[in-house]
């Protein structure tokens, strides 16, 4: 089965980093972490929202089915708990990196304001301090990304250990030949056209929640 990401449904790893020192003296400002854009407001509508159509029953004569693994992650209690854990770790790492980035920006501004005012030896020392801060930022960013990837892998292992047996049990119960795993947007198996009743994702969510 193609691997999925617990984090993909909520966040992406940050890619902001401090710029490398450009020699002694003035140094370009390091990019500050970018805040996520607020969601666009929903457009007003004059029509009441229509209720979602009732799901079609699973065809009794079918020998195949499919599940969308991202749907199971997004809708199940286990998947939501994993998303919360990933968000908590990501927010913690982002806050720590912002502190380091702010220190870099402050020192860069100090160097720029002191250029031509203080001795070259003082500017040179501040330049070395700036380079050290930038190296610390890069290492901290790499460690944060590794921590999040490791956390995601751990959550994914637990997720698969609980979900895959449920999928296999459902296949046996319905006497199916195969249940395909669909992953939208990740190069996984794509369904061009199918009876929507063949989608067993929410049935797996129901059984996973009951097991939890």
Segments making up each domain of the chain, as ranges: 61-211
Give the count of alpha carbons within 13 A of 15, CB side only: 2
CA distance 138 to 31: 13
Q: What is the mean pLDDT of the chain?
A: 81
Q: Are 8 and 70 in contact (CB under 8 A)?
A: yes
Q: How confident is the model at residue 55 (pLDDT cuts 50, 70, 90)?
A: confident
Two structure tokens written together for 168: 């296999």
Distances (CA, A) of 144 to 81, 137, 157: 20, 10, 20
Q: How does strand 64-68 pair with strand 178-182?
A: parallel
Strands (E), the chain: 64-68, 178-182
What's the pTM?
0.70
Q: What is the DSSP letter of 177?
A: S
Tell me the per-residue pLDDT of 91-125, one tens digit each, with 9 for 90 and over: 999 999 999 999 999 999 999 999 888 888 999 99
CA distance 74 to 56: 21
Which of 166, 176, 168 has its CA nearest to residue 212?
166
Determine the pLDDT at residue 188: 65
CA distance 109 to 103: 10
Tell me the per-residue pLDDT of 71-89, one tens digit each, with 9 for 90 and over: 999 999 999 999 999 999 9
């Amino acid at each position: 089965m193609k691997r999925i990401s617990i984090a993909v449904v909520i966040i992406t790893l940050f890619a902001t980093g401090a710029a490398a020192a450009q020699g002694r003296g003035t140094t370009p400002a390091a990019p500050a972490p970018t805040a996520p854009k607020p969601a666009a407001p929903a457009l007003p509508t004059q029509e009441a929202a229509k209720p979602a159509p009732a799901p079609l029953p699973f065809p009794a004569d079918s020998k195949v089915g499919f599940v969308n693994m991202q749907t199971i992650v997004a809708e199940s209690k286990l998947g939501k708990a994993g998303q919360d854990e990933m968000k908590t770790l990501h927010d913690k790492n982002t806050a720590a990196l912002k502190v380091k980035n702010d220190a870099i920006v402050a020192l860069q501004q100090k160097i720029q304001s002191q250029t031509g005012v203080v001795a070259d030896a003082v500017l040179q020392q501040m330049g070395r301090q700036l380079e050290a801060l930038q190296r610390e930022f890069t290492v901290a960013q790499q460690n944060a990304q590794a921590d999040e990837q490791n956390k995601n892998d751990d959550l994914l292992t637990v997720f698969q250990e609980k979900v895959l047996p449920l999928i296999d049990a459902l296949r046996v119960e319905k006497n199916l030949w195969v249940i395909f795993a669909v992953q939208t947007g990740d190069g996984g198996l794509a369904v061009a056209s199918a009876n929507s009743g063949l989608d067993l994702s929410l049935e797996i969510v129901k059984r996973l929640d009951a097991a939890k």
